[in-house]
Homo-oligomer: A and B are copies of this chain.
Amino acid sequence: MRRITLLAAVVGALCVAGGVLHYTGSSEIAVFVCTGAALGGLAWLIGTATESVGARFGPAVTGALQSTLGNLPELFIVLFSLSAGEIVVAQTSILGSLFANALLVLGLAIVAGARASSSEVMTFRKRLPNDTATLLLLALFTIALLGLSDQIGDRASEHQVAISVVGAICLLFVYGMWLWSYLRSDRHVEAALEEPCHAELPFPFAIGVLAVAGIAAALVSDWFVHSIDGAVDALGISKAFTGIVIVAIAGNAVENVVGITLAAKGQSDLAISVVKNSVAQIACFLFPALVLVSLFFSTRLTFVLNPVYIGALAVTALAVWQITGDGRAYAYEGWALVAIYVILATVVFFE
């Protein structure tokens, strides 16, 4: 509790500093760094508060809450990017969160889990990895079809918004069917399996923290997005790198630590659940939902991506399925996922 108060104070100070730097028109690099760090802190704070809230309701609801609230910072960044017309930042932030979770976090969790196991193999239930693979392939289908049609510039490429809307509705429908089936069928299994959630914060206080952190995330995201233009010029990095690497790691910092810590403690199933739920949610809930929301903005978000990201998404879906689909993973397989992320970050760095 004391540690949390201290860390929350630091996060609060970063938010305030970010605001001061933003409104005093300081160097955009300073705003960028300060608000980026604040966003990472807010993501962690929201995660902790959600866990405490969820302790009232049991693991299934906690999972659902965590998936939904845990992606708040990314959500705000994408919304502000869209309203600022920064379509590259919006798209790469979504993709980056997906890649960071599916490759970097999952990879490190596997390395930690395999080390923690006496047999040097991390074992876990097969269902969630295979479900995630199915959902990723569904999202990939939509994205690949639109991307290919865009590349060859056929007639369908003139109707990208309409096709994206149909695709988004299909993805959300399937995600809903999946979530319903998953929560129902896994309720007793999970209840028996998981250690009870421990409420680190008292319930009403946790609700208050969530509200404040949510509002702060919205404000800080706004400042962050507005600093990007100047900061990437000054730092000499690309916008794609900002989205794929910086936003992704900042926005997923908590899940990073939580998933990897759980794996290192030998709680393989819980670790896989935290990471995989995020991946499925980004691909089949956050992305399509934002496509629909963007209809109310002047800049429309579609599923049309740069072919490099389509290829990366395809091989990521395959690699994650191949590595985790059999319910067993060796440490080298975790390193393979991390290596894929490093190679992707390198390519994006030079974009």
Binding site for B on A (CB under 8 A): 120, 130-131, 133-135, 137-138, 140-142, 144-149, 151-152, 154-156, 158-159, 162-163, 166-167, 170-171, 173-174, 177-178, 180-181, 185, 238, 306-308, 310-312, 314-316, 318-319, 321-323, 326, 330-333, 335-336, 339-340, 342-344, 346-348, 350-351
Q: Assess whether B181 is in contact with A350, with CB atoms less than 8 Å apart.
A: no
Q: How far is the CA of A318 from the CA of B315 in the complex (A)?
A: 11
A335, B162: Cα distance in complex, Å:
21
A322 engages B134 (CB within 8 Å): yes
Complex Cα spacing A194 to B159, Å: 48
- B173 near A339 with CB under 8 A, answer yes
Is the CB–CB distance between B351 and A154 below 8 Å?
Answer: yes
Among B141, B145, B148, B312, contact of A319 (Cβ-Cβ < 8 Å)? B141
Q: Is the CB of B154 within 8 A of A308?
A: yes
- A138 and B177 contact, CB distance less than 8 A: no
Chain B: CB-nearest residue to A317:
B318
Measured between beta carbons, the chain B residues less than 8 angstroms from A347 are 145-146, 149, 156, 163
Cβ-closest chain B residue relative to A320: B137
Across chains A and B, which 9 residue pairs bring their CB atoms closest together, nearest first?
A170-B339, A177-B332, A156-B350, A178-B332, A159-B350, A141-B315, A166-B346, A148-B311, A144-B311
Is B307 a contact partner of A343 (Cβ separation < 8 A)?
no
In the complex, besides A141-B315, A147-B311, A154-B351, 5 extra interface pairs with C-beta distance below 8 angstroms are: A130-B322, A134-B333, A141-B340, A145-B308, A163-B346
A290 to B343, CA, bound (A): 18
| A174 contact from B142, B167, B335, Cβ within 8 A | B335
Output the least CB separation between A4 and chain B (Å). Answer: 36
Asked if A344 meets B145 with Cβ closer than 8 Å, knowing A152-B308, A306-B152, A322-B137, the reply is yes
Complex CA–CA separation, A331 to B323 (angstroms): 24
In the docked arrangement, what's the CA distance between A263 and B11, Å?
55
- Chain B residues whose CB sits within 8 angstroms of the CB of A331 once the complex forms: 177, 181
Give the contacting residue for A181; candidates B177, B181, B330, B348; CB below 8 A. Answer: B330
Pick the most buried of A133, A178, A350: most chain B CB atoms within 10 A of its CB.
A350
Q: What's the minimum C-beta distance from A263 to chain B, rounded to whole angstroms? A: 17
- Report B-chain residues with C-beta under 8 Å of the C-beta of A163: 343, 346-347, 350
Q: What's the least CB distance linking A44 to chain B, in Å?
A: 29
